[in-house]
């Protein structure tokens, strides 16, 4: 009997499992049943399989509806014993009030058992193996039917706080201000505050937003930092927001208290202790440095050129002209013998050896040495 490869055995097992027509159950829950516009609602979708759910994938895609935002915060797959369970959790926001009837659709993607059988009875997996195809079954889920109540652009639970490190300061010394706004809403609902105070200089960091989303809902926090410099007393104004409180079910206004800052006048010249702070370094005058380098290089180059020209200077002595124009060795010897006061004894000996001893010394070499001795290179 022919032994089946391991991968074919796996396909065979999968085929048997799929032929069993494994079932599943889908449960849809949403809460609270009473929500306000801009309030997050929880949507739970749970798919429970009768078995391990091999070869089966549950797929849910939120509907694309204006003024409704789905945010996925959990997508998990667990097993209870041998049974597979898929959990999906969404936060749903309704941007406008009114009645909503949202139809939810999903699908179950299954591995085609017939394709598995053809693959298992054919050849093992490889570049020419039969590709396993899938079939997808549409599933209609229970609809979300909800009446969304009217609220305000800001809806939820908010808190607003301002913090100042100290209320007594010196002139020109920055006063640090921090503003914190927290809520259980989506981060795009938090807008930065603006700060304007007459006769002050204000520096502001970029607003920072921390945001998380989980089964407990949204958590957002806006933090802003300001540095305020002034030469006289000033007041940090109050900051306020209005929102719909989902617990009190009414519009609530949060407002911070104004903060008085006392500024002590000081002499601006005494703001810096010169003993603790060294004198600032003078900026480098690059023009002076470049001018100095130019003239230095110019002087060096001038000396080099002078030396070169001095060495290259050619003596216009009549004797040199005679040496240059004389090509006969004996005639040249006569000329050299008349120059007894010149350092050319070796040249005379070389010329005599060339004429009488027949040594292989060319006239050109002898004349070159003579000219060098007499001062021409």
Instruction: Give the model's pLDDT for residue 377.
Output: 43
Q: Taking residues 48-68, what's their average pLDDT?
A: 91
What was the pLDDT predicted at 198? 94
Range with lowest mean pLDDT among 37-51, 91-105, 295-309: 295-309
pTM for this one? Answer: 0.57
Per-residue pLDDT reduced to its tens digit, 276-292: 556 666 677 777 778 77
Percent above pLDDT 90 for the chain: 46
Among 123-137, 191-205, 240-254, 279-293, which stretch is predicted with the lowest mean pLDDT?
A: 123-137
What's the CA angle centered on 95, arms 91 and 97, to 5 degrees? 110
- The answer to whether the 6-149 and 155-270 domains have the same CATH topology is yes
Separation CA 366–CA 331 (nearest Å): 13
- 24-31 β-sheet, strand order: 24-31, 40-49, 83-94, 68-80
For residue 158, what pLDDT is reported?
Answer: 94
Cα distance between residue 236 and residue 195, in whole Å: 8
Average pLDDT over residues 222-239: 95
**Tell me, what's the pLDDT at 9?**
44
For range 289-312, the mean pLDDT: 79
326 vs 143, higher pLDDT: 143
Parse the chain into domains and list their residue ranges. 6-149, 155-270, 318-373
For 155-270, CATH number? Answer: 2.60.40
Query: Can you name the residues that pair with 24 across neighbouring β-strands?
Result: 49
How open is the CA angle 65-67-69, to the nearest 5 degrees? 75
Task: Please name the fold of domain 6-149.
Answer: Immunoglobulin-like (2.60.40)
């Amino acid at each position: 009997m022919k032994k089946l490869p391991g991968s074919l055995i796996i396909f065979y097992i999968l085929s048997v499992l799929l032929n069993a027509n494994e079932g599943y159950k889908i449960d849809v829950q949403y809460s609270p049943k009473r929500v306000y516009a801009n309030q997050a609602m929880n949507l739970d979708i749970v798919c429970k399989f009768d078995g391990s759910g091999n070869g089966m994938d549950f797929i849910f895609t939120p509907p694309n509806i204006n003024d409704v935002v789905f945010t996925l915060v959990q997508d998990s797959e667990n097993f209870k014993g041998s049974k597979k369970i898929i959990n999906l959790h969404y936060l749903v926001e309704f941007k406008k009030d009114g009645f909503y009837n949202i139809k939810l659709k999903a699908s179950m993607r299954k591995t085609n058992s017939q394709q598995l059988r053809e693959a298992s009875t054919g050849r093992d997996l490889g570049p020419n193996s039969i590709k396993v195809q899938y079939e997808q079954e549409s599933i209609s889920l229970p609809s979300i039917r909800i009446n969304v109540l009217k609220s305000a652009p800001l809806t939820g639970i908010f808190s607003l706080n301002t913090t100042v490190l100290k209320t007594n300061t010196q002139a020109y010394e920055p006063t640090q201000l921090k503003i914190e706004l927290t809520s259980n809403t989506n981060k795009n609902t938090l807008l930065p505050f603006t700060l304007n105070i007459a006769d002050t200089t204000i520096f502001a960091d970029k607003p920072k937003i921390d945001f998380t989303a989980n089964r407990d809902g949204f958590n957002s926090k806006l933090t802003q930092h300001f540095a305020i410099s002034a030469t006289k007393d000033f007041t940090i104004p109050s900051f306020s927001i209005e929102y719909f409180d989902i617990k009190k079910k009414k519009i609530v206004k949060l407002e911070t208290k104004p903060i008085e800052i006392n500024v002590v006048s000081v002499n601006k010249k005494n703001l810096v202790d010169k003993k603790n702070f060294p004198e600032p370094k003078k900026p480098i005058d690059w023009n002076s440095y470049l001018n100095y380098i130019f003239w230095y290089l110019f002087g060096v180059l001038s000396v080099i050129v002078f030396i070169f020209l001095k060495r290259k200077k050619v003596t216009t002595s009549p004797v040199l002209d005679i040496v240059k124009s004389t090509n006969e060795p004996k005639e040249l010897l006569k000329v050299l013998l008349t120059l007894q006061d010149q350092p050319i004894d070796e040249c005379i000996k070389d010329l005599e050896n060339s004429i009488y001893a027949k040594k292989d010394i060319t006239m050109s070499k002898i004349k070159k040495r003579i000219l060098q001795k007499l001062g021409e290179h």
